[in-house]
Chains A and B, each alone.
Chain A
Amino acid sequence: GPAEPAGAVGTGQPALGSAAVPDGHHRAALFVASQSAYKRFSELLPREERENACSARVPKSQILTLPELRANPFQHRICHVFSTSETQDGSMSFEDFLDMLSVFSDSATSDIKSCYAFRIFDFDNDGTLDRKDLEQLVNCLTGQGEESRLSSAEMEQLIQNILEESDIDKDGTINLAEFQHVVSRSPDF
């Protein structure tokens, strides 16, 4: 399941800028230490803005250059889920970045991970996983090449099977509770 991006924790204490990170508060809200995250975050900003890293927003294109997200098929969804930007452009502030690291960290509980995983998989942000979401999910997982995609018959069969397994109340969609029920039993999550 979602695990910690490399280098997020334990890379040592950087020299903080003038806007020092209020670590005391962040500590209680996070699963990670915020100083090393601060360093990684400020590296994403252009040099001029590094002093005000706490209040700056990093555009999505920059975030996607992180090695941990580069090869991830859900990179766009991850950015959108953690971003608090009003324009929904996927840009992330430092606090959003911390949020993301905290959820992906090894010490985060399975509950919070499954909650965020649900949001990531919910492509249309309607709070449930319906057929369209599942289709998009499968397409993400099978890669971008044409030959690796499933045919529509296979896709239909697959989604049918999934809904049979996970949709307990048979409303044709998977809600958060059903999702958490399914993945909590999985040793791979």
Chain B
Amino acid sequence: DGSDDNEEGSAVENEENAKGADKGKKRATPRTGRAHARGRDRHGDEDDEDDEGGMRRAGPRRHRSRRRGRAAGNEASDSDMEPAKARKNQANQKSKEDDEEDEDEKGGKSGKGKNEKKGDKKSDKKGKKEKANKKKKEKKKSGSGSDSESEEEPITEEELAKLKEEVEEKKKLIATLRNKPWKMKKKLSVLKEAQLFVEKFEGALGKGKGKKFYAYKVMMTKKWMKFQRDFENFKTACIPWEMKIKEIESHFGSSVASYFIFLRWMYGINMILFGLTFGLVMVPEALMGKPYGSLPRKTVPRAEEATAMNFATLWDFSGFAQYSVLFYGYYNNQRTIGWLKFRMPLSYFLVGVGSIGYSFMIVTRTMAKNANDDGGGDDTSFNFSWKMFTSWDYLIGNPETADNKFASITTSFKEAIVEEQESRKEENIHLTRFLRVLANFLALCTLAGSGYLIFFVVRRSQQFALEGLENYGWWERNEVNTVMSLLGMFCPTLFDVISSLENYHPRIALRWQLGRIFALFLGNLYTFIIALMDEINLKARYFLPFTMFDRLLGNTEALQSLEEEKIVKYNMTIWEASLYNGTIPENSTAPPIQVDPADVPRGPCWETMVGQEFVRLTVSDMMTTYITILIGDFLRAVFVRFFNYCWCWDLEYGFPSYSEFDISGNVLGLIFNQGMIWMGSFYAPCLPAINVFRLHTSMYLQCWAVMCCNVPQERVFKASRSNNFYMAMLLFILFLSTLPAVYTIVSIPPSFDCGPFSGKTRMFEVISETLEHDFPSWFGKVFGYASNPGLILPFILLMVLSLYYLNATSKSYKEANLELKKKLQSVRIEN
């Protein structure tokens, strides 16, 4: 395999090892590698320490070796030893040294990469020292008299150093063996050789007690590495749905599979969010908080009790579902609950903020990882070569897909050749421009139309709510959700039709399409929220039995709601008073009368309402997706398959044919659903749980549907380029989703009658309350100073400056990159 060695030339890390390996082959003494350091094979004994005390690590290696030489009881004491023993001795010494170097390296020093010369090793054999230790060490080859102590041979430092380096190089070789493009036989033989060398010579280094410890350390390192490997294997085996996705990959190519990989990644994020909300919010309240029925906020009001258990009510997330840990309103505002003194409001607040923080962190980290892999991929300098060498998708295992792939590769070759040959003549540039402007105008109209439709529908639902939902049928009750889902289904198709006017290159057309769908979903979502806000205000206002006050008073929302709360509180005291037979309890000391919590008049709880809306939206979205799959894909496929026999035209090739898997639509749907989860999970802790369930079933349903009802796409796009595009959208959505929650935390007072923050003027006050009560006083002072604007502003300034600096640095790197590329090109041209 001589040629193999030549081909290593380009890999830097291979070079050193190659040289080392070559030299190793030439040498008689095998070289050691790191990975299988047995360590305790040979160790000198405790005499070392007696000889010279207080040795430091780096320098006294030579002294140590000398000591070792003396102490190690072995025959070789002069240069006319038999070659075998001599070599052994030398190797022992070197390996001892190597071990020490090993320790040094572990301590953080860099290993030496020098190639040792073979000759010197043989020259002077010093004695080696054997350690009669617990370490098991098989003495292969010439390892006989290695047990005695008191070797008196002085060992030269260079040899020890070289032996050590050799051991190091062997270890490095073992570690990088898998990166070498050799045949298996060669790899195995080199590996065996290297491992033997390491076994033989490594543990012999070290001294005295230090050796025992060192040998122990080496053994633990080996065990640790084995454990790591097993753990890696275990982790790989644990990845869920891997086989399903591989099967899809082989049938449909990597782009369709990338959707499922994205889905799985989302599932992971949602599991963590679920873990946080479930473990830190829902479970403590359920276990340690006051039980259902003990407080007004935790009880179904008397008026609703009759219908509280109906399936229809539960499906709508009212009734018992509303007055449970699933929603914000159930939580009590007690500062600590249970014997653990669990700080419920603090936990609720921190989990909400922490979920968002975690999501930001993981999305950004994934983007950065993708950007690294991309390698700045807008390179057009290797257009043809890349088409040639990298266009085949090796994950395809299905002949039909392979045929499609062949066709698309051929087309792309031909297109590229044509483009290269003739410059595109812009015929009718005015017509093209006009058509594009028209298309954009139509798209804008669609967006505006859908936004208005949502606003209108939400307003209508407010009317229905006012008049009591019982009077209306299913459509009126679910109008908003259904309309939003339907819009999400049909508008993208509309955009597709519009884009045929534009006559762009398919990749650019895809980008426009994605951008428009994005704008659509975004617009819908924000219109929905705005309408919801309006509805909350209206509802809150109308909640009260006495409404004349709000007309008299000012019309700012905060003022209104504050006044409303005062009104409700006043009403409640009056109602309480009525229990005392009419006396207004101004300064009453009468014992409180026991009232069933279900009878107490309740204040408005807009957070629960918001949470409910989001939950309903999520559920209806889920239903819509499943029904679309079942009808749009499955029934269509059944129809095409079975009615083809008795139909006039060929259903499979003409209309409607089997459906293709719509990657971009599905990915966007996933992203926006996640946005809704992020928005709503502060008000409804049950949302991540629902989403986990939704994603889980989605995975199975869609995997089945793809394999059963879809055909591979005609234009098979590679997944890699679009990856960061979706991530960027996800990040953007995350940012937008957290804005409403942050706004409510910071500026809207929480409802006074429900939730963990009731009674406070702002939600974030829970932090200052915690600082006061739970932390020592100086902490509060420090925090007070730290949150001083005088400190925060300079900090922000500093961050802006560092952003600017990093931006400038990255620009300069890009420029340097371009310069190098140009240089490369000019070198090419010169040649």
Interface residues of A (CB under 8 A from B): 1-3, 6-7, 9-10, 12, 25-31, 33, 67-68, 70-74, 84, 95-96, 98-99, 102, 104, 108-109, 111-112, 115-119, 121, 127, 134, 137-138, 141-143, 145, 148-150, 154, 157-158, 161-162, 165-166, 168-170, 176-177, 179-180, 182-189
In the complex the two chains form, is B7's CB within 8 Å of A115's CB? yes
CB <8 Å contact, B828 and A168 = yes
Closest chain A CB from B140 CB (angstroms): 15
B644 sits at the interface (CB 8 A): no
Measured between alpha carbons, how far is A84 from B185 in the docked complex, in Å? Answer: 9
A116-B181 contact, Cβ under 8 Å, with A67-B397, A71-B401, A150-B414: yes
B589 within 8 A of A: no
State how many angstroms separate the Cβ of B385 from the closest Cβ of chain A.
5
Check A1 against B718 for contact (C-beta < 8 Å). no
Smallest CB separation, A71 vs chain B (Å): 4
Within 8 Å by CB of A112, from B35, B181, B247, lies B181
User: Which one of B102-110, B121-129, B172-180, B504-512 contacts A?
Assistant: B172-180
Q: Which of A6, A102, A149 contacts B247 (CB 8 A)?
A: A6
- Are B407 and A157 interface neighbours, CB within 8 A? no
Tell me whether A188 and B181 are in contact in the complex, defined as CB-CB below 8 angstroms, given that A1-B394, A25-B188, A71-B397 are known contacts: no
B384 interfacial by beta-carbon distance below 8 Å: yes
Query: How far, in whole Å, are A185 and B237 apart by their CA atoms in the complex?
Result: 31
**Docked-complex contact B394 and A30, CB < 8 angstroms:** no
Q: Are B250 and A68 in contact (CB under 8 A)?
A: yes
Whether A170 and B828, one on each chain, are in contact in the complex, defined by CB atoms closer than 8 angstroms, is yes
**Least Cβ distance of B703 to chain A in Å?**
14
* Set of chain A residues within 8 Å of B233, measured between Cβ atoms: 10, 33
Would you give 10 A-B contacts (Cβ < 8 Å), ordered by A?
A: A3-B395, A6-B247, A28-B191, A30-B178, A71-B398, A95-B183, A168-B827, A168-B831, A170-B828, A187-B720
In the bound complex, how far is the Cα of B386 from the Cα of A162, in angstroms? Answer: 9
Contact of A138 among B178, B236, B388, B407 (CB under 8 A): B388
Residue among A6, A102, A116, A119 with max Cβ neighbours from chain B (10 Å): A6
Taking A95-B185, A143-B407 as given, write out 19 further A-B residue pairs in contact, using a Cβ cutoff of 8 Å, ordered by the A residue number. Answer: A1-B390, A2-B394, A3-B394, A9-B236, A28-B174, A28-B175, A28-B191, A29-B188, A71-B396, A74-B392, A111-B14, A111-B179, A141-B392, A154-B413, A165-B382, A185-B375, A186-B390, A187-B373, A188-B386
Asked if B178 contacts A188 (CB within 8 A), the reply is no
B587 at the interface (CB under 8 A from A): no
B382, A182: Cβ atoms closer than 8 Å: yes
Cα of A170 to Cα of B183 in the assembled complex, Å: 31
Contact between B397 and A6, CB atoms less than 8 A apart: yes
Cβ of B507 to closest chain A Cβ, rounded Å: 14
Cβ–Cβ < 8 Å partners of B377 in chain A: 185-187
Contact: A6 with B828, CB < 8 Å?
no
Contact in complex: B390, A158 (CB < 8 Å): no
**B636 CB contacts on chain A under 8 angstroms:** none
Contacts of B392 in A (CB 8 A): 72-74, 141
Which residue of B375, B379, B413 contacts A150 across the interface (Cβ within 8 Å)? B413
Residue B421 at the chain A interface, CB threshold 8 Å: yes
- In chain B, positions 350-380 with a C-beta closer than 8 Å to chain A are 373-375, 377, 379
Interface residues of B in 1-31 (CB under 8 A from A): 3, 6-11, 14
Contact of B386 among A27, A157, A182 (CB under 8 A): A182
Give A12 Cβ to nearest chain B Cβ, in Å.
8
A71: chain B residues at CB < 8 Å are: 396-399, 401-402
Least CB distance, A79 to chain B, in whole angstroms? 14
Is A104 a contact of B394 with CB atoms below 8 Å?
A: yes
Residues of B near A180 (CB, < 8 A) are: 10
Nearest-CB residue, chain A, relative to B1: A84
In the bound complex, how far is the Cα of B393 from the Cα of A72, in angstroms?
A: 9
Instruction: Identify which of B3, B177, B385 gathers the most chain A CB atoms within 10 Å of its CB.
Output: B385
Q: How far is the CA of A109 from the CA of B389 in the complex (A)?
A: 17
Question: How many angstroms between the C-alpha atoms of A55 and B403 in the bound complex?
Answer: 37
B242 contacts which chain A residues (CB < 8 A)?
Answer: 10
Q: Are A158 and B397 in contact (CB under 8 A)?
A: no
Task: Provide the bound-state CA to CA distance between A95 and B189, in Å.
Answer: 12
Q: Which one of A67, A185, A188 contacts B720 once the chains associate, using CB atoms below 8 Å?
A: A188
- Given A142-B406, A187-B377, does the pair A182, B250 have CB atoms closer than 8 Å? no
Q: Which residue of B lies closest to A66 (CB)?
A: B397
- Do A162 and B390 have beta carbons less than 8 Å apart? no
Which of A28, A176, A185, A189 makes the CB contact (< 8 A) with B9?
A176
Please judge, given known A-B contacts A6-B247, A96-B184, A102-B178, whether A170 and B831 are in contact too, CB under 8 Å: yes
Known contacts A29-B187, A68-B250: A141-B385 contact under CB 8 Å: no
Tell me whether B391 is interfacial, beta carbon within 8 Å.
Answer: yes
Bound-complex Cα distance A71 to B409 (A): 15
CA of A7 to CA of B245 in the docked complex: distance in angstroms? 11
Partner of B390, one of A26, A148, A183: A183
- Do B384 and A28 touch (CB < 8 A)? no
Q: Which residues of B contact A1 (CB under 8 A)?
A: 390, 394
Which chain B residues border A108 with CB–CB below 8 Å? 178
Within 8 A of A (CB), among B386-440: 386, 388-392, 394-399, 401-403, 406-407, 409-410, 413-414, 417, 420-421
Check: B249 CB closer than 8 A to any chain A CB: yes
Give B540-562 interface residues, CB cut-off 8 Å to A.
none
By the criterion CB–CB under 8 Å, are A29 and B410 in contact? no
Pairwise interchain contact B389-A189, C-beta atoms closer than 8 A? yes
| B420 x A142 contact (CB < 8 A) | no
Q: Return the chain A residue nearest B386 by Cβ.
A: A186
Cβ of B413 and Cβ of A138 under 8 Å apart?
yes
Interface flag for B229 (CB, 8 Å): yes
Return chain A residues, CB-CB under 8 Å to B402: 71-73
B144 at the interface (CB under 8 A from A): no
Contacts of A116 in B (CB 8 A): 181
Q: In the complex, what distance in Å separates the CA atom of A168 from the CA atom of B250?
A: 36
A166 touches B385 (CB 8 A): yes
Smallest CB gap from B378: residue in A = A187
Which residues on the B side are within 8 Å of A25 (C-beta)?
188, 191-192, 195
B118, chain A: closest CB distance, angstroms: 25
Residues of A within 8 A of B185 (CB): 84, 95
Q: Are A165 and B192 in contact (CB under 8 A)?
A: no
Q: For the complex formed, measure the closest distance between the CB of B92 and the CB atoms of chain A, giving whole angstroms.
A: 24
Contacts of A165 in B (CB 8 A): 381-385
- Tell yes or no: B243 within 8 A of A by CB: yes
| Closest A-B pairs by Cβ, 5 of them | A143-B406, A95-B184, A71-B402, A6-B246, A115-B181
**Chain B residues, CB < 8 A from A143:** 403, 406-407, 409-410
Of B174, B249, B373, B397, most buried by chain A (CB within 10 Å of CB) is B397
Q: Which residues of B contact A12 (CB under 8 A)?
A: 237
User: In the assembled complex, which residues on chain B have CB atoms less than 8 Å from the CB atom of A188?
Assistant: 386, 390-391, 718, 720-721
Q: For window 33-62 of chain B, which residues contact chain A by CB distance below 8 Å?
A: 35-36
* Contact call B184/A98, Cβ cutoff below 8 A: yes
Most buried by B among A31, A84, A108, A188: A188
Residues of B within 8 A of A170 (CB): 828, 831
Q: Given contacts A127-B3, A161-B384, A176-B9, are A7 and B188 in contact (CB under 8 A)?
A: no
**Nearest-neighbor residue (CB-CB) of A35 within chain B:** B233
Q: Which residues of A contact B239 (CB under 8 A)?
A: 10
For B721, the chain A residues whose CB sits under 8 A away are 187-188
Which residues of the partner chain B approach A141 to less than 8 Å between Cβ atoms?
388, 391-392, 406, 409-410, 413
A48 CB to nearest B CB, Å:
25
Bound Cα distance from A121 to B183, whole angstroms: 18
CA gap between A184 and B373 in the complex, in Å? 10
In the bound complex, CA of A142 to CA of B402 (Å): 10
Q: Is the CB of A189 within 8 A of B179?
A: no
Question: B11, B178, B379 — which one has the most chain A CB atoms within 10 A of its CB?
Answer: B178
Which B residues are in CB contact (< 8 Å) with A7?
A: 243, 246
- Pick the most buried of B180, B237, B247, B383: most chain A CB atoms within 10 A of its CB: B237
Whether B374 lies near A187 (C-beta < 8 A) is yes
A142 to B413, CA, bound (A): 9
A137 (CB) vs chain B CBs: closest residue: B388
